[in-house]
Structure 1
Amino acid sequence: MAERWLRGPIGLDAELRVTRAGCKTVLVVIPTMAAGTRLRDLLPLVSGDHRVQTMFTVVDSADDGTAEFAAAGGGLVLPWRQAVSHRFDLVLAASPVGLEQVRGQILVVPHGVGSLMSRLRSRRAGPSGLPFAGLARETLTHRGRLIPATLALTHDVEMRALRRSCPEALPVAVVAGDICYDRMAASVSLRDEYRRALGVSDQERLVTVSSTWSSESMFGQHSELCQRLLAESTGTNQRVALVLHPSAWAAHGRWQVTAWLSDCVANGLLLIPPEEGWRATMIASDHVIGDHGSTTQYAAALGKRVTLGTFPSDNIRCGSVADRLAKVAPVLDLDRDLLPQLDNAKPRGRHFAKFVTSRPGQTAAILRSAMYRLLRLPEPAAPAQVLPVPSPEPVRPCRLNWPT
């Protein structure tokens, strides 16, 4: 069946269909759910502007579940082939995937903590691959053409790295900070509200397990950890939550992940869905058991007590944010009772946040300025707003049946 193109605000005779004419067009490119959640942080910077029309597209090679994620937001989702056939005034991206095909002024932001990888080597390169830190020429250029019109970095360290890896991108690079961190920091005052949404009382301690994806991750190495924590928590004031990277949900499927954890959820595990809720859960937490993923690093930057449950030290880049966390966070001894060990961790807060962002509290203003410069529009008069993150909604306990 041929792909059906949308009869929306672009293409032939678009001026006969639209209600608001003459709008600047913004395209949000979504290759993964993780990238999509980061790009949603940018949308409020243009959402109230009647001069701007925003559309979305899902890259052809996107993970399973990404199309459903994009559609659930209620935006106008263009088929990929239609999107790449049109030129947009501004393109928002949080991954290099597919960008060589897109036409328009492209703004690239990272989709995790920083633009420099924590891992020493790319997963796709395998164990024999050469060290790769990110911000490489091969991801920023295509056939000699620089892809981003603006490259948003989170830290001054990244500007120095870019000078070595792809100096031709320096003129378009700007240190903007981390909008995800800024939103989380601005939401700390809502901690009690987030705990109520999770069903956690003032007298209870919330322990959250944070896992990135891949076999090196917390869940990949120790899938039984939540079950053990729940068993130790019986009859105590401890609650347990799990934040699992969206790519793990995508690779195995929502049914399978929920099936693996159904007994834990029935026994009180607060399983956070992949679309949203992880940030509010980190804010609500008293302690985080994590790995080398970005979520664990954000928790440390917010001042949470962090213990590492697993850490692939032979594949972590020296000097990365993950490496810095490993130098100060205690490591869980899985041969002993787990909960008593959590008191060994100390909150890091501002001391660690300086590794996550060089522009705390400034990112919305810097990014909005960059976006309107690419749109060739004057910025709105009101200051750029940093919105609090949404309340979490854990997966509800249910009986899993194979559909008939």
Structure 2
Amino acid sequence: MPSKNKAPGPVRRSPGQWSTLPECRRVLAVVHTHVYWSRLREIVSLFRADLRIQVVFTVAPHAFNGGLRELLRGLGGTVLPWSEAVRTDFDLVLAAGSQGIEQIRGPLVRLPHGAGAIKLSRPVEGPQRSVGGYGRPYLTWAGRVVPAAIALAHRSELQLLASGCPEALPVAEVIGDSCHDRIAASLHLREVYRRALGLRTGESFVLVSSTWGLGSSFNRLDALLPRLAAELPPDRFRTALLVHPNVWANHSRWQLDAWLSGRHGIHLLPPETDWRQLLIAADYVIGDHGSVTLYATMTQAPILLARFPFQDVNPDSAAVQLARTAPALSAAHTLTDQLAYAQDRYRPEDYAAIARGISSEPGCFNRKARGLLYRVLGLGEPAYEPATELLDVPELLGGRRP
């Protein structure tokens, strides 16, 4: 009789008589948070129409994973319980987070989940803080590197690995950034997106973006929201608020709606919103040290920084370069004057230089990512070039008709 304390072995699935495509390679997408899912969604789309590959999902342990099971089941995909996923062999595992990945059985490709390697790890004892995702605590377990491959957006991130986890360098590969490429491909649709959102001719659209945590704009939102309502004339400005999905997951959808929805004349964007079209449509962006603000450097929108906690940000990141370039929000002058100032001081070439820090492989993400994934799977790639898709036309903003 086996010991009760013995760890269970892997569940090896035999195709049996019920399987129609028994030779499929099995790919597991490990989803930690809504933000990580947005990245995984882009990469699993590279397997579409390939009958050799079947993708299944699991929700990993994480403080911000609320609602993910329902979301994934709503897509119609197979969602394995975590307890089953860690006992099953896979041909490829995809993850953008770290928690629990050492338990998964199969070659892991670790993906980036934001722009520009911005945030530092949480403070611990001692003076050293690694950039989030690039240190040993994120990439190793029991002295070994867990991922079979680590995908990076920019060549500069190789130096981050060299400092934080040099033993992971041999499995690192620079493939670019999916959000960067889709935004760049869709910039010419700005007027299409503006019409779809219901923005009127001559109306300025202000997108307010907040990341999560103590250094975020949301942490001081009680001071910013009344100013947006009081100082931006409603006949000239339209304002929308984009809050990081981690805030929604932590405080709940009901609570954020109770706090913010319908108040101050500002449209609160739900957490599942694809913000990239709104960023392209925006005339101004008010942000912080989150990825959305950094992606705004790809557009023609002047940026105002409401908050920027330098002590929590990678000093060599493009985000810090942005904080040294973009004007900071002031309590002493009206928002209309400050937006006009930001517009007057806006220099496209300065922001384009910052945007180049997001991806060192512009336009190449799909090709490089697909090559990496199929190499790990041991399969030849499909015989077509994976095109970068345009972003979908957004829904009407706040129920207003054009």
TM-score by length of 2: 0.89
| Residue identity matched to 2:246 | S
Structure-2 separation of matches of 1:240 and 1:219: 15
| Residue identity matched to 2:82 | W
Deviation at 1:126, TM superposition (A): 6.1
Structure 1 window deviating more from structure 2 (216-225 vs 343-352): it is 343-352
Deviation readout 1:93-112 (Å, 9 max, x if unpaired)? 11112110111111111100
Structure-2 separation of matches of 1:277 and 1:223: 25
Deviation readout 1:30-71 (Å, 9 max, x if unpaired)? 011111111111122111211110111001335222223322
Structure-2 separation of matches of 1:203 and 1:28: 44
| Preserved CA contact (<8 Å) 1:187 1:388 | yes
Structure-1 separation of matches of 2:21 and 2:197: 41
Deviation readout 1:292-343 (Å, 9 max, x if unpaired)? 1111001113342111011112333322222111010000112321122112
The equivalent residue for 2:37 is 36
Q: CA RMSD in A?
A: 2.1
| Residue identity matched to 1:167 | P
Structure-1 separation of matches of 2:247 and 2:362: 30
| Residue identity matched to 1:136 | G
Q: The residue matched to 2:242 in structure 1 has which SS?
A: strand
Q: The residue matched to 2:295 in structure 1 has which SS?
A: helix
The equivalent residue for 1:387 is 389
The equivalent residue for 1:22 is 23
Are 1:67 and 2:69 matched, yes or no?
A: yes
| Preserved CA contact (<8 Å) 2:61 2:99 | no
Structure-2 separation of matches of 1:315 and 1:146: 26
| Residue identity matched to 2:289 | H
Residue 93 of structure 1 is aligned with which of 95, 102, 108? 95
Are 1:297 and 2:294 matched, yes or no?
A: yes
| Preserved CA contact (<8 Å) 1:288 1:305 | yes
The equivalent residue for 1:370 is 372
Deviation at 1:128, TM superposition (A): 7.2
The equivalent residue for 1:6 is none
Structure-2 separation of matches of 1:170 and 1:127: 26
Residue 351 of structure 1 is aligned with which of 342, 350, 353? 353
Structure-1 separation of matches of 2:268 and 2:262: 11
The equivalent residue for 1:152 is 151
| Preserved CA contact (<8 Å) 1:181 1:298 | yes
The number of equivalent residue pairs is: 382
Distance 1:24 1:383, change over 3 A: same
Are 1:283 and 2:280 matched, yes or no?
A: yes
Q: The residue matched to 1:310 in structure 2 has which SS?
A: coil
| Residue identity matched to 1:379 | E
| Preserved CA contact (<8 Å) 2:283 2:300 | no
| Preserved CA contact (<8 Å) 1:211 1:243 | yes
| Preserved CA contact (<8 Å) 1:302 1:353 | no
| Residue identity matched to 2:62 | S
Structure-2 separation of matches of 1:344 and 1:128: 42
Q: The residue matched to 1:223 in structure 2 has which SS?
A: helix
| Preserved CA contact (<8 Å) 1:291 1:309 | yes
Residue 328 of structure 2 is aligned with which of 326, 331, 355? 331
The equivalent residue for 1:401 is none
Deviation readout 1:353-375 (Å, 9 max, x if unpaired)? 11111111111110000000011
Structure-1 separation of matches of 2:353 and 2:90: 41
Structure 1 window deviating more from structure 2 (164-173 vs 101-110): it is 164-173
**Superposed, which structure 2 residues align to 1:137-286 within 5 Å?**
137-264=136-263, 267=265, 269-286=266-283
The equivalent residue for 2:131 is 133
Deviation at 1:165, TM superposition (A): 2.4
| Preserved CA contact (<8 Å) 2:33 2:62 | no
| Preserved CA contact (<8 Å) 1:290 1:296 | yes
Distance 1:241 1:281, change over 3 A: same
Structure-2 separation of matches of 1:28 and 1:213: 24
- Which consecutive unaligned segments of at least 5 residues does structure 2 have? 1-10
| Residue identity matched to 1:178 | D
Deviation at 1:91, TM superposition (A): 0.9
Distance 1:73 1:389, change over 3 A: farther
Distance 1:336 1:46, change over 3 A: same
Distance 1:126 1:271, change over 3 A: farther
The equivalent residue for 1:76 is 78
| Residue identity matched to 1:213 | W
The equivalent residue for 2:362 is 360
- Which consecutive unaligned segments of at least 5 residues does structure 1 have? 1-9, 398-404
| Preserved CA contact (<8 Å) 2:322 2:351 | no
Structure-1 separation of matches of 2:33 and 2:357: 25
Structure-2 separation of matches of 1:180 and 1:384: 15
Q: The residue matched to 1:341 in structure 2 has which SS?
A: helix
Structure-2 separation of matches of 1:264 and 1:129: 42
Aligned residues with identical type, % of pairs: 42
Structure 1 window deviating more from structure 2 (126-135 vs 236-245): it is 126-135
Deviation readout 1:8-47 (Å, 9 max, x if unpaired)? xx95454333333211111110011111111111122111
Deviation readout 1:135-155 (Å, 9 max, x if unpaired)? 112221111222111111111
The equivalent residue for 2:48 is 47
Q: The residue matched to 1:41 in structure 2 has which SS?
A: helix
Structure-2 separation of matches of 1:197 and 1:71: 29
Deviation at 1:387, TM superposition (A): 1.5
